[in-house]
């Protein structure tokens, strides 16, 4: 995962200390096992953090699983050795590690150390433009270098251990999986899964059956993954236990168009194609339609998931100007992949990969089918049957196999029958030259004489096509996305007093869909607490019936201080119950505002007064996919954008003093009954008359 430094990251870095303080103090997350001193790479989510994370996952499910009609599975976190050996993780799931030559307990992940050295060199005073280009290219390829290449680069730039200045050992491969024995004997080896994807591939056959054997279709899985990172750091960015949300979308190898491609092809995104990176040029803005037409993005289905990922990240709270899609370099891409793009989000560290979107071809299904002997193919009816010519052993040759190879005859003939026409022709050519040919079957070698390599061509009419599906895989790092959301949504509100200036009133402007609580219920002061028991109970019941998470703050702090507490938690709406709500005013009179309460918006700090019984339903609309927005609600109740709070108490007193809310409500009610042609003129006349 390359991390690219950037100019735009500076503003996030400046706010990071205040954000970290808020995150820790309000227990969004903290280092796990903290009272024991903690262990790097493990984090515990607290109550608000757990709620935000779960709400983000729920939003992901809405956006992908529900809207794209995907299936979902929930596979195990422990996988046997054979599964991950077949997938290539046992042999290839490695990073390079370098150690301080004089202190082997000090070690570094080689590609990350190289990236940091290149960043430092680019930041040196007086560095030439040519060297910046050189350093940029080296950094871009840091995690794509082979062992020999990265060793040579370390020598070229004389890279030392950062703190001691000692020489470093040569890079060595370090497997990132956590091994674990399965069962009391410990003879069955396994690993904590390094990704959720393999559980999808293993269950492809059964999901295909549930989908009536038809393609294309997708399978999703959300769950924990585990990687024994060499140097975990940067909070949630690089952990040893983390949450993935992955989709495997299965398609015909030659049919990668997408039925909903038209919906996203007009999206203009910041695209960083591999040729631009290799030439040290900046990304370009281009529509997905143009990128597919130009061959920059391999196919429509890949482009579709790039577009849907972009829309999801924006909906979740990431700023669109800080999102780009970077194509993997040729040496960085897996050998089986056709094309791969990372959604990178700019944050305090720079550009960080948060989503990988890859065309993995048919690699995974093919290797698991070969290892198990279980067909992981699909089939489709052909519109026009086709005549297929097959080239194989004659019946006479197969019969002679038994005489020559006896008990191994089935093994040898089965191997030859499985070969392609080209492979059989090559074997026969070798046998014609040498009189025989050697073949290897399950580790055994057999000499096949030329006389047994007698072939014949046959033809058959095929009405169906059998194929191994290709797969497009969007893979989401939930924890990394959360880090970006926190950084993009955090700001410090302008202070209204010297006391506030010292307190640095921080706000998490989280979208309501992922906020930990949708509302906070606030009695105006402790006197209201004594009187509002029944109203509070009914309000809580209504919030619960709408499925809304909420808090109640009955502490003795001022209403302004409690608003600030809710803002820190990212709570979008506050319900304030006061004496008018209770129907009480001075001198024992009954308030005309009985049964109403104020609803405050976190971001604008505007307030509107509404019937208390209506507020939970309104919050439910504001917190979901309903088109109602706060701007529309405020405008409908006569609150302009300039109506932000100076002091909440002052605003309430001012409205009471001038009967503003009561007069506005009366005028709007009269308007609804009269339905005049000129609504605004009617309202003005009503207000002037009052």
Percent of the chain with pLDDT over 90: 64
Do the beta carbons of residue 550 and residue 520 sit within 8 Å? yes
42-86 per-position pLDDT tens digit: 999 999 999 999 999 999 999 999 999 999 999 999 999 999 999
Both 480 and 527 in one domain: the answer is: no
Both 126 and 161 in one domain: the answer is: yes
Both 482 and 336 in one domain: the answer is: yes
Q: Which residue has the higher pLDDT, 592 or 507?
A: 507
Residue 123 placed within a domain: yes
Indicate if the alpha-carbon torsion angle 175, 243, 256, 213 is positive or negative: positive
pLDDT band at 190 (very low <50, low <70, confident <90, very high): very high
pLDDT for the residue numbered 641: 55
On the CB side of 43, CA atoms within 13 Å amount to 26
Both 105 and 147 in one domain: the answer is: yes
pLDDT for the residue numbered 403: 82
Do the beta carbons of residue 298 and residue 327 sit within 8 Å? no
pLDDT for the residue numbered 4: 52
* Count of structural domains, the chain: 4
Both 604 and 504 in one domain: the answer is: yes
pLDDT for the residue numbered 657: 64
The CATH number given to whatever domain includes residue 508 is 3.40.50.800
101-160 per-position pLDDT tens digit: 999 889 899 998 998 999 899 989 899 989 988 998 898 888 889 899 999 999 999 999
Residue 283 placed within a domain: yes
Q: How far apart are CA 409 and CA 281, in angstroms?
A: 61
294-308 per-position pLDDT tens digit: 999 999 999 999 999
Both 355 and 432 in one domain: the answer is: no
SS3 breakdown of the chain: % helix, strand, coil, rounded to 5?
45, 25, 30
Both 287 and 430 in one domain: the answer is: no
pLDDT for the residue numbered 101: 92
pLDDT for the residue numbered 459: 77
pLDDT for the residue numbered 497: 54
Q: Identify the CA nearest to 270 among candidates 234, 317, 320.
A: 320
Question: Could you say which of 105, 140, 175 is where a domain stops?
Answer: 175
Residue 664 placed within a domain: no
Mean predicted confidence (pLDDT) in 342-357: 96
Both 363 and 387 in one domain: the answer is: no
Both 625 and 601 in one domain: the answer is: yes
pLDDT for the residue numbered 643: 46
The CATH number given to whatever domain includes residue 145 is 3.30.40.230
Of 25-29, 411-415, 594-598, the range with the lowest mean pLDDT is 411-415
Q: pTM for the full model?
A: 0.82
Mean predicted confidence (pLDDT) in 236-244: 96
User: Is the pLDDT score of 536 beyond 70?
Assistant: yes
pLDDT for the residue numbered 433: 86
pLDDT for the residue numbered 591: 74
Q: How far apart are CA 42 and CA 50, in angstroms?
A: 15
pLDDT for the residue numbered 653: 56
Both 43 and 109 in one domain: the answer is: no
Both 482 and 350 in one domain: the answer is: yes
pLDDT band at 539 (very low <50, low <70, confident <90, very high): very high
pLDDT for the residue numbered 415: 83
Residue 561 placed within a domain: yes
| Residue 205: both structure tokens together | 């056959």
In sequence order, the 6+-apart residues with CB closer than 8 A to the CB of 360 are 334, 336, 337, 338, 470, 471, 472, 473
Residue 83 placed within a domain: no
- For Cα atoms 19, 25, 29, give the angle at the middle one, nearest 5 degrees: 75
Which backbone phi and psi does 83 adopt, to 5 degrees?
A: -60, -50
Both 256 and 357 in one domain: the answer is: yes
- Residue 279 belongs to domain spanning: 8-76+193-377+468-492
pLDDT for the residue numbered 194: 96
The CATH number given to whatever domain includes residue 424 is 3.30.720.200
Examine residue 216 and say whether the peptide bond preceding it is cis (omega within 30 degrees of 0). Answer: yes
Angle between helices 110-122 and 129-140 (to 10 degrees): 160
Residue 329 placed within a domain: yes
Q: What residues pair up with 345 in beta bridges, in sequence order?
A: 323, 352
pLDDT band at 495 (very low <50, low <70, confident <90, very high): low
Residue 602 placed within a domain: yes
Residue 362 placed within a domain: yes
């Amino acid at each position: 995962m390359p991390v690219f430094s950037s100019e735009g990251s500076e503003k996030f870095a400046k706010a990071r200390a205040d954000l970290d303080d808020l995150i820790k103090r309000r227990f969004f997350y903290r280092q796990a096992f903290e009272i024991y001193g903690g262990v790097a790479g493990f984090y515990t989510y607290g109550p608000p953090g757990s709620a935000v994370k779960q709400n983000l996952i729920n939003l992901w499910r809405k956006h992908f699983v529900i809207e794209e009609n995907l299936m979902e599975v929930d596979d195990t976190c422990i996988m046997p050795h054979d599964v991950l050996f077949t997938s290539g993780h046992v042999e290839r799931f490695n990073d390079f590690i370098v150690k301080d030559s004089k202190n082997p307990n000090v070690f570094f992940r080689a590609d990350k150390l190289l990236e940091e050295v290149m960043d430092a060199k680019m930041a040196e005073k007086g560095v030439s433009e040519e060297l910046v280009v050189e350093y940029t290219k080296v950094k871009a390829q840091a995690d794509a270098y082979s062992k020999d290449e990265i060793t040579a680069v370390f020598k070229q730039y004389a890279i030392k251990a950062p703190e001691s200045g000692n020489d470093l050992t040569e890079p060595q491969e370090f497997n990132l999986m956590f091994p674990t024995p399965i069962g009391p004997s410990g003879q069955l080896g396994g690993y904590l899964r390094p990704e959720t994807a393999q559980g999808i591939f293993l269950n492809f056959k059964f999901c295909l059956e549930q989908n009536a054997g038809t393609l294309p279709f997708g399978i999703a899985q959300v769950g924990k993954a585990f990687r024994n990172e060499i140097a975990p750091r940067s909070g949630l960015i690089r952990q040893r236990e983390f949450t993935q949300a992955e989709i495997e979308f299965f398609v015909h190898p030659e049919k990668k168009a997408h039925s909903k491609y038209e919906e996203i092809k007009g999206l203009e995104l910041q695209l960083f194609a591999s040729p631009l990176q290799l030439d040290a040029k900046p990304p370009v803005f281009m529509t997905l339609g143009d990128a597919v037409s130009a061959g920059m993005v391999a196919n429509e289905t890949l482009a579709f998931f790039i577009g849907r990922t972009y829309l999801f990240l924006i909906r979740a709270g990431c700023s669109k100007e800080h999102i780009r899609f970077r194509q993997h370099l040729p040496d960085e891409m897996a050998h089986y992949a056709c094309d791969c793009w990372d959604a990178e989000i700019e944050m305090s560290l720079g550009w960080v990969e948060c989503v990988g979107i890859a065309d993995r071809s048919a690699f995974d299904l093919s290797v698991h089918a070969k290892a198990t002997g279980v067909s992981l193919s699909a089939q489709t009816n052909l519109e026009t049957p086709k005549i297929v010519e097959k080239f194989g052993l004659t019946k006479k040759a197969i019969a002679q196999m038994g005489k020559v190879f006896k008990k191994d005859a089935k093994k040898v003939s089965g191997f030859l029958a499985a070969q392609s026409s080209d492979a059989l022709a090559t074997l026969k050519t070798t046998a014609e030259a040498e009189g025989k040919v050697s073949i290897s079957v399950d580790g055994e070698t057999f000499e096949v004489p030329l006389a047994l390599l007698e072939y014949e061509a046959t033809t058959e009419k095929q009405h169906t096509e059998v194929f191994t599906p290709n797969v497009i895989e969007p893979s989401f790092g939930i924890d990394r996305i959360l880090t970006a959301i926190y950084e993009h949504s955090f700001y410090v509100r302008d202070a209204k007093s010297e006391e506030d200036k010292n307190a640095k009133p921080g706000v998490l402007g989280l979208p309501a869909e992922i906020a930990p609580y949708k509302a906070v219920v606030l009695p105006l002061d402790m006197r209201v607490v004594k009187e509002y028991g029944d109203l509070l109970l009914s309000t809580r019941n209504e919030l619960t019936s709408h499925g809304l998470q909420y808090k109640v703050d009955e502490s003795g702090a001022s209403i302004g201080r409690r608003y600030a507490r809710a803002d820190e938690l990212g709570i979008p709406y506050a319900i304030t119950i006061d004496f008018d709500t209770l129907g009480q005013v001075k001198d024992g009179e009954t308030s005309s505002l009985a049964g109403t309460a104020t609803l405050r918006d976190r971001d604008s700090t505007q307030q509107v007064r509404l019937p208390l019984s209506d507020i939970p339903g309104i919050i439910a609309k504001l917190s979901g996919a309903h088109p109602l927005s706060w701007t529309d609600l405020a405008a409908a109740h006569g609150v302009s954008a300039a109506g932000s709070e100076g002091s909440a108490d002052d605003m309430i007193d001012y409205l009471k003093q001038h009967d503003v809310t009561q007069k506005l409500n009366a005028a709007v009610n009269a308007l609804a009954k009269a339905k005049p042609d000129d609504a605004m003129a009617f309202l003005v006349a009503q207000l002037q008359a009052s």
